[in-house]
Structure 1
Amino acid sequence: MIIRILGEDQYILDDDRLDYLNDLDDQLMLALEADDESGYELSLDQLLSAVRGFGVRLNPELVVASDLVLPGPDTPASDVRAMLRGDGLIPG
């Protein structure tokens, strides 16, 4: 799976990390639903840190389609709400 973090890089992650990323995505959704700004910031940071930590950064000179696009670390909660699908940022 190729994941882009907006304003940063793309990462290749093994599909076996998807369940963990979905758990973090669920926490992010709960924080957004509760209008919990600090919880939102913490959850987004954890999600992006997991992608960076588990993933292998792609060479930025390569042009590769992303399977998933995540907001950058400074993205306001209102912008992330606009990016959400029915099941969060990460399908599944």
Structure 2
Amino acid sequence: MIMRVMGEGQFQVGETHLNRLNELDEELLTALESGDEEQFRRALVELLGAVREFGTPLADDSLEPSDLILPDAEATIADVREMLRAEGDGLIPGIPE
């Protein structure tokens, strides 16, 4: 799966890591629902860090379409809420059963 972190680039992330990314996405959603800025910031940084850790960066000149787009680390709660309105349930899709 190709994930784009806004302002940073694309990462190829294997499906074996999607469960962990979904867990982190749930933590981010919980923080958004509570409106807790500190919890939100921590969850967003952890999610983006996991994408960087598990993913392989694609070359800057790569023209691969992104399967999903994640906010940058400086995104606000309002920014991420707006992205979620467009995306649906969370930023990271679940693994099909």
Give the TM-score of the pair, scaled to structure 1. 0.96
How far apart in 2 are the matches of 1:5 and 1:40?
A: 17
Q: How many residues align?
A: 92
- C-alpha displacement at 1:86, in angstroms? 3.5
How far apart in 2 are the matches of 1:8 and 1:21?
A: 18
1:28 maps to: 28
2:90 maps to: 88
- C-alpha displacement at 1:47, in angstroms? 0.2
1:8 maps to: 8
How far apart in 1 are the matches of 2:36 and 2:90?
A: 16
- C-alpha displacement at 1:17, in angstroms? 0.5
The one-letter code matched in structure 1 to 2:75 is T
The one-letter code matched in structure 1 to 2:5 is I
> How much is the aligned-residue C-alpha RMSD, in angstroms?
0.8
Q: Give SS of 1:32's match.
A: helix
Q: Give SS of 2:3's match.
A: strand
- C-alpha displacement at 1:88, in angstroms? 0.8
- C-alpha displacement at 1:82, in angstroms? 0.7
Deviations 1:15-59 (A, max 9, x none): 110010000000000001000000000000000000001110000
- C-alpha displacement at 1:90, in angstroms? 1.2
Give the TM-score of the pair, scaled to structure 2. 0.92
Which ranges in structure 2 are unaligned for 5 or more consecutive residues?
A: none
**Residue identity (%):** 47
How far apart in 1 are the matches of 2:34 and 2:25?
A: 14
- C-alpha displacement at 1:87, in angstroms? 1.8
Which ranges in structure 1 are unaligned for 5 or more consecutive residues?
A: none
How far apart in 1 are the matches of 2:34 and 2:71?
A: 19
